Amino acid sequence: MITPRICQVAVLGGGVAGLATALNILDQTGKSGGNLRVTVFEADATPGGNLRTLHQDGWQLEWGANGFLDSEPATLRLVRRLGLAERLLPSSDATRHRFLLVNGRLEEIPTSPKAFLKSGMLPPGAKLRMAGELFLPARRNLGRAAEEPATDETIYEFGRRRLGREFAEVMLDPMVKGIFGGDARQLSLAAAFPRMVELEKNHGGLFRAMIALARRRKKGHKTDAGPSGTLTSFQGGMADLVAALERTIGQSGRAEIRCDSPVETLTREQDTWHVSGPGFSVGPFDAVVDATPAHTAARHLTDVAPGTAAELARIPFAPIAVVALGFDREAVGHNLNSFGLLVPSREKRDILGCLLTSSIFPGRAPDGKVLLRAMVGGATNPTVMDLDDEHLANLTLSELRPMLHLKGAPIMVRIIRHPRGIAQYLPGHLALLRQVGQDLERLPGLFLTGSSYRGIAVNACVKEAEALGRNVTRYIEGLEGCP
């Protein structure tokens, strides 16, 4: 008879991906009565990764993500599991107005086909070209990017092919910058927006897909052509999510979060894993979940799996600076019932876009004040990150003043730098992940997760944490002595 033992799992990285995965493992093994302990290793002094909320003289600033879309069931399940439902804070309905900078002027993004036809967003010829999408045949070899990397087209190539050059440059380009801080001409459609590939493959085109989905909705089916839902945060900011995860994991009695513990190397001895860093070497662990960014995971694996490490090191990251600016209400001439603005690359500006944060979420600025959140840098303009804070703030102000009709100097300035901010899914990304997956089959007990791989948003990380929690649990339950 095999004597049951305490099985050990290490989670590297205490961001939302690592914490959510740790909690899912605890919950799954708790259901099955598993005798298991989880140790989370976090390099910083506090967990959370880029999900941090800063408080400065009445201003509430997000270090990373501003929120999440409330359409992902996995995230809503996590919110309920953590007892955070009453702290949810949907974005204001008054801020549904969004703008693009077109030929030096802000144009409101139309929300209906009729409004789009009347708008000055695109010239008549470009609108006619878009209408022609209905008659274009679907591309061959759709959905084969992982197996056949040569079929992996960029987002720009897709947009131009289906809807025309003007649409790709004026509307698609800034959307990609706003989400990924990236270049639509360099990012893989299949990796970044797999739903678009699915729609063309299943329906023959985007307009055909929209018509088919509209019919399904009339029949009561829930379906969307792309990301949907309301941008949502918490009353105390995104840090509420991190704090609740930390608290719930700690209360389990079967887990520990070790902060100030940057992992440097992973080693495999017999059938177990050991985790080492400055001043510590811990193990054995039956399984390891590496939830750190790909470039960090690559360093962890240099000795034990150099080929996998080299693949992970190939995933680039775009640098991003968040420039938070505070103004008196009277100093902002633009309509405050606005979500924000994005800037297409063809406008030759340094900023990627700007959110009117205090309009989107109440309580983010003192009474009578306005909080702006501008994004600068990205994959198309990395050298702007070389500017010091003063010059970066002045550059941002010089571009925002005419757009938002700003008067005078800001009363608050805070700059947050992310030298390796957002993973960039280049063409070949899915093939790379396929190769890494094959590599991991030869490294039993090692799992990878996080925004470097299958989605950069909070929702993507939380959704993957659910599935990975089940996979790790199944692996642990199959080990000798693990009940």
Q: Where are the alpha helices (DSSP H) in 279-388?
A: 294-300, 306-313, 357-360
What pLDDT does residue 112 have? Answer: 84
Q: What is the DSSP letter of 147?
A: T
Is residue 343 pLDDT above 80, yes or no? yes
What pLDDT does residue 33 have? Answer: 55
Is residue 94 pLDDT above 80, yes or no? no
Is residue 380 pLDDT above 50, yes or no? yes
Among 89-93, 220-224, 336-340, where is mean pLDDT lowest? 220-224
| Residue extents of the structural domains in the chain | 7-51+235-315+426-477, 122-140+148-218, 317-423
Question: Taking all residues of the chain, what is their mean pLDDT, rounded to a whole number?
Answer: 94
Residue 423, CB-side half-sphere exposure with 13 Å CA sphere: 25
What pLDDT does residue 18 have? Answer: 98
Q: What is the largest CA-CA distance in the chain?
A: 78
Inter-helix orientation angle 306-313/429-441, to 10°: 160
What pLDDT does residue 255 have? Answer: 95
What is the CATH code for 122-140+148-218?
1.10.3110.10
What is the average pLDDT across 166-179?
96
Name 70's Cβ contacts closer than 8 Å, sequence gap at least 6. Answer: 76, 88, 90, 229, 230, 231, 232
- Span 7-51+235-315+426-477 CATH architecture: 3-Layer(bba) Sandwich (3.50)
| Residue 216, φ and ψ in degrees, nearest 5 | -65, -40
What is the average pLDDT across 132-154?
93
Nearest to 248 by CA among 72, 24, 470: 24
Q: How confident is the model at residue 223 (pLDDT cuts 50, 70, 90)?
A: low
Is residue 3 pLDDT above 70, yes or no? no
Q: 13 or 481: which carries more pLDDT confidence? A: 13
Is residue 1 pLDDT above 60, yes or no? no
Q: Is 20 exposed, middle or buried (0-12, 13-18, 19+ CB in 10 A)?
A: buried
- Only one residue has tokens 């902060």, namely 259
Nearest to 189 by CA among 168, 166, 217: 168
> In this structure, which CATH number among 3.40.190.10, 1.10.3720.10, 3.90.650.10, 3.90.660.20 belongs to the domain 317-423?
3.90.660.20
Q: How confident is the model at residue 357 (pLDDT cuts 50, 70, 90)?
A: very high
Q: How confident is the model at residue 60 (pLDDT cuts 50, 70, 90)?
A: very high
Among 22-31, 307-316, 458-467, where is mean pLDDT lowest? 22-31
